[in-house]
Structure 1
Amino acid sequence: MTLGLINANPVVREIKDRVTRPADSHHESSAVDPLDIYDFVRDIRDPEHPYSLEQLSVLSEDSITVDEKLGRILITFTPTIQHCSMAPVIGLCLRVKLKDCFPPHFKVDIKVTPGSHADEEAVNKQLNDKERIVAAMENPNLRQLVDECVQSSEL
């Protein structure tokens, strides 16, 4: 779908087999488990390549932190290159996939890993501005791209 790849030769890593954890291994005090969140989003397809965010090392198990006391979830991701124009699309894919997954008192912040993007501040602002997110999702072409990336992870 994308013409002229921004990162034509990404490094692709092998996906680790997931070890199913017994229910009693979850933190008893944590209603929201970071590894469960990671398992839910790791298969989102990259907007530019036929690989998952996990395969491209855009996301890792350490990408997600939960602060139960503050009711905050932080998801960081690392674009494959410093000038990745797809970073906002990746953030939208994460938001769409995670929509309605958490108790209403949780705030989800999605950011690029510090130092991983040339326009880090602007991308982070865009990814966490409700009005910009709504406006982006009203664009039919962008919505279709996000849906394709998220749906391919559900197959």
Structure 2
Amino acid sequence: MISGLINENPTVYEKSERRVRIEDIKDPEHPLSLEQLRVVTEDSVEVDDEKSHVRVTFTPTMEHCSMATLIGLCIRVKLMRSLPSRYKIDIRVAPGTHETEDALNKQINDKERVAAALENPNLVEVVDECLLPSFE
């Protein structure tokens, strides 16, 4: 067992078999996808193509998860890299699932904070690692 993890034994769910699959994003702490941990589900992704708007509501595995900001940033970067630039991306923590929900929502949706975070090469390296498809 790897020691020093914040959540050493998360609940792991089976990947669902469906025609439309949520892109896998690796959890920053475990070699599991956010989908496997049910941090992000198909139901938590809303797309309004007419209004060019995407909203993802994610549920951290613990209400004091220190990785929640990084998870939100990974989701945002994945969408930024995958969608045409016309889309407005809104990332939210599910209501009542994190003790600093309001601060997290503000931070991961603030363009200037996101831009500053993405100027940090160490942070970009961590995000890129979470977005690699070869974690299974």
Structure 1 equivalent of residue 83 of structure 2: 102
Unmatched segments (≥5 aa) in structure 1: 21-34
Distance 1:100 1:10, change over 3 A: closer
Is the 1:77–1:113 contact (alpha carbons within 8 Å) kept by the matching residues of 2? Answer: yes
- RMSD after superposition: 2.1
Contact 1:44/1:153 (CA < 8 Å) preserved in 2? no
Rg (Cα) greater in structure: 1
Letter in 2 for 1:15: K
SS at match of 2:92: strand
Number of matched pairs: 135
Query: Are the equivalent residues in 1 in contact too, given 2:44–2:56 (CA < 8 A)?
Result: yes
5+ residue gaps in structure 2? none
Instruction: Provide the TM-score with structure 1 as the length reference.
Output: 0.78
Give the Å deviation of 1:73: 1.3
Superposition deviation, residue 154 in structure 1? 8.3
Give the ranges of 4+ consecutive aligned residues of structure 1 lying more than 6 Å apart after TM superposition. Answer: none
Residue type at the aligned position of 1:11: T
Normalising by structure 2, we get a TM-score of: 0.88
Deviation (angstroms), 1:139: 1.6
Q: 1:91 to 1:72 in 2, by over 3 A?
A: same
For residues 67 and 52 of structure 1, what CA distance do their matches in structure 2 show? 25
